[in-house]
Amino acid sequence: MPELPEVETTVKGIARVATGLTISEVWTDYNSLHYIGSETIKDPKYFAKFKKLITRRTIVGTSRRAKNVLIHLDNDQTILIHLKMTGHIMYGSYELNKKRALIERGGKDPWFAKDEGPLTDPFNKFIHLVFTFTNGKQLVLSDMRKFAKVTLINTNQLTLSEHLREAGPEPLSPLFTYEVFVERLNKKPEGKIKTTLMDQTLIAGVGNIYSDEILWRAGVHPEEKIKSIQKHNHIVLRHMYKALKETLQKGIDFGGDSMSDYRNIDGERGEFQEQHQAYRRTKKPCMKRGCKGTIVRKVVGGRSAHFCDTHQKAYKDTR
């Protein structure tokens, strides 16, 4: 799932290519009987309302909240897109070709990039939402598993909406001080640190990849409990706070993580996967200077955790 750095990279990309553009048409094939009655475009009735409200409207800005892309329109409406497991947003010239889709894709995913290049990457072909602009180009959502969420919210009601009101504070905000970090963790003293870092109601935007990298950098075992860290080595919380900020910023600096299918607005891969120290490096030597450990994998809270078996040792009374 795209995490804070991938979503932030996407938001900056949309701002670069689409600010000031006017939407002329909207298309989707997300329609699903399972979502009837939901306030998302997967309900055909809601999509009709969505389409009416955003057509002929101009994009005036973009922002991010937690793992959500927010596209602000000139009628005080905001399109919210949560990319979920496999979603990513791209911009370019596309064509709707049902005949070609029938031949090449069994009738599925009928939108094709017109020009050769990154947009034709196989991971970019699962297009299920298309915004066409008056300049003739498109902003598209590729989503292989069709899990993404798209809805429309009054801009002045964003923080109160059901989609955002439970989100924790933004870890890269200047307001997210060390004291705030500790206060958030202390809400779940019995929680395992990896699971706690990924709790979106406590801290926004951290997922499986970046939690592994943060804990590797801070030298913390993923199963360590918050209360145990405070009991044995309170200073490690400061290391973790620093690692949290630095790791997420590094993810943004490298354009996000494309270990899986994430791509940026131009259809290109990010480069953070080349910086991994722990995530999916099972059985490989630890790269921490002076450490002779090996990266191991263990399921923690239903998610895969990757960590060093040497410099990320758990305290004996918490195993």
Residues marked as catalytic: 2-3, 67, 303
CA-based nearest residue to 171, from 224, 245, 256: 245
The residues, ordered by sequence, that sit 6+ positions from 230 with a Cβ below 8 Å of its Cβ are 237
Residues 110, 90: Cα–Cα separation, whole Å: 16
Does residue 220 contact residue 192 with C-beta atoms inside 8 Å?
Answer: no
Q: Are residues 116 and 8 in contact, defined by beta-carbon separation less than 8 angstroms?
A: no
Whole-Å CA distances, 124 to 87, 111, 118, 141, 279: 9, 10, 8, 9, 24
Task: Report which of 67, 87, 94 is spatially closest to residue 144, judged by C-alpha positions.
Answer: 87
